[in-house]
Structures are given as C-alpha cells and as structure tokens.
Structure 1
Amino acid sequence: MRTTADRLRHAIGFEAIGLLICIPLAVWAFGMEVHQLGVLAVGISLAATGWNYGYNKVVDRLMVRHLGRLDKTWAERVAHAACFELGLLLITLPAAAWWLSVSLWEAFIIDAAMAVFYLVYAFVYNLAYDKAFPVRMAHRA
C-alpha cells in the first residue's frame, strides 16, 4: 500500500502539472478570460486533490481485498481514470455553472471537456507515476 506521504506527492504532482497544461488549453478552447478559467481550474483542482486522495485509497483497499494485488491491467487503468473523472464531474458541475454564470448544460460541456483532458492525462500520469514510484506489497504473515 502507498504511504500518506506518497499519496500526497502523487496528488500534488498530478494537480500542479495538470494545471500548467489545462489552463492555457481551456482559455484557448473556450475563449474565456484566464482569470475565469484559471480560478475555476484551481477550484476544481482543490476538489480533485481531496477526491484523488480518498478515491485512490478506497480503490487500493478494494483491489487488495478482492484481487490480492495493486498493479492494474490496462483495462483497470482505463476504468480507474474514467470513474475518477465521472465522480469529479458530479462534484464540480454546480460550482462551475455558478462561477462562470452559465447554464448547467454549458458548464457540463466545459467541465466534460476538462474531464476528457484529465481522463487522458490521469491515465498517462498514473502510469508514469507507478513506473517512477512502484508500490510495494506488504507480505502477510
């Protein structure tokens, strides 16, 4: 299992790198001001950091309990990233609509586009992170 320090390194690295890529892309794609989308992206990032920590902790526990392992197959990585983004979308949609003064549908389109970006990014980041910082299984006595 991963330590708390490792989980924090993972979450903070994920969000910092993601913001550096996402904000300029979102400003370009939606034609909004950097402060509008920047504040939204940072707010979503903070929500995602908490969600990331809890979500991955639960997924790790479930994998150990039901599969006896922590390493993920490619299909499990895709499902892991998709479920993470779906949960985050449900959490952040009302705030996005309010902050941008747009309808829930418009906020959904913007949030969904960001989720697609983060879906691909999460897959790549988590694969790279797992290679750079492999998880060690504790042996049971």
Structure 2
Amino acid sequence: MNLSPVARRITYVVIFEVIAISLATLLLTALSGGEAHGSFPVAAASSLAAIVWNFVYNTLFERWEQGRQIETRALGLRIAHTIGFEGGLIAILIPLFMWWYQVGPVEALKMEVALLVFFLVFTFVFTWIFDRLVPIKRKADAKI
C-alpha cells in the first residue's frame, strides 16, 4: 500500500487507536476484575488523554529545544523526553483510574504500569508491522 505522508499518519493513528482501545479494554477488564463494557470508556478516555498529551507535550518540548537551539536529540535528551512524556501521562491517568475504578493510588499505579508495559510492546510490534505493510514514501521512491 502506498499512501501520502499525511494519509499514512492518519491511517496509522486510526488503526493503532482502534486496536489499542480494544486491547486496553481487555487488559483493564482483567486488572479491575470487572466487565469489558465497564472498562471501555476508561480505555477510550486514556487513549484520548494520550493523544492530547502527546500533542501538548511534544509542542512544548520542541519549543523548549528551539529556545536552546538544540538541533539533534542525543540519547540523554531522548531518555529525558520519554520520562517526561510518560510521567505526565501517569499524572493524568492515575486520578482517572482511581475515580473510575474506585481504587487507591497504589492500585491505580499498578494499572498504569501494566498499560505502560503493554503499550511499550504493542507500539513496537504495531509499528514494525505497519511499516512493512505501508512503507514510508521516500523522495527517491517518488522518482521511480
């Protein structure tokens, strides 16, 4: 499949989020001991929170980089970027889990850590498969 860069990104996000919400619903159902229909809304809200936080965080981070004239992200900066993103997402989702599932902070943190580990693996596998099915159109490819 050969898509324009914008169509490729939109396709990626839509397919990723549909699968992610479905799998997160199952994981949260297992962790909470409830039923899937009880975890679907929080899985969808978590997905929306991650999308919005990703946009906000990366916009602010890139503005910070520009202000310091940072042109490349060395390993240390990439690690700091990741920790900042995940830390912010944890701060957003733990109160949501506490409220929705009526659990304490430790139980909500366990749920968030389980989701974090799941998404670490899921994102890698999904992106690897997606890149093979929908390759990035390079300028050199466009000339052929």
Higher RCO (CA < 8 A, seq sep 6+): 2
Q: Which residue of 2 aligns with 1:23?
A: 25
Q: Which residue of 1 aligns with 2:71?
A: 65
Q: Which residue of 2 aligns with 1:119?
A: 120
Q: Which residue of 2 aligns with 1:39?
A: 41
Whether the 8 Å contact between 2:98 and 2:108 is mirrored in structure 1 is yes
Provide structure 2 residue ranges, at least 5 long, that are not aligned to the other structure.
140-144
Structure 1 vs Structure 2 CA RMSD: 3.7
Q: TM-score, normalised by structure 2?
A: 0.64
Give the percent of matched residue pairs that are identical in Structure 1 and Structure 2: 31
Task: Give, in whole Å, the separation in 2 of the partners of 1:60 and 1:130.
Answer: 25
Question: How far does the alpha carbon of each residue in 1:83-133 deviate from its partner, in whole angstroms, 9 at most, with x for none?
Answer: 454442222111221121111111111121112111111122223334423
> How many pairs does the alignment contain?
127
Alpha-carbon distance change, 135 to 121 in structure 1, aligned in 2, over 3 angstroms = farther
For 1:35, what is the secondary structure of its paired residue?
A: helix
Which has more radius of gyration? 2
Task: Give, in whole Å, the separation in 2 of the partners of 1:31 and 1:92.
Answer: 18
For 1:65, what is the secondary structure of its paired residue?
A: coil
Q: Which residue of 1 aligns with 2:142?
A: none
Alpha-carbon distance change, 129 to 22 in structure 1, aligned in 2, over 3 angstroms = same
Q: TM-score, normalised by structure 1?
A: 0.65
Provide structure 1 residue ranges, at least 5 long, that are not aligned to the other structure.
68-74
Q: Which residue of 1 aligns with 2:93?
A: 92
Matched AA of 1:65: E
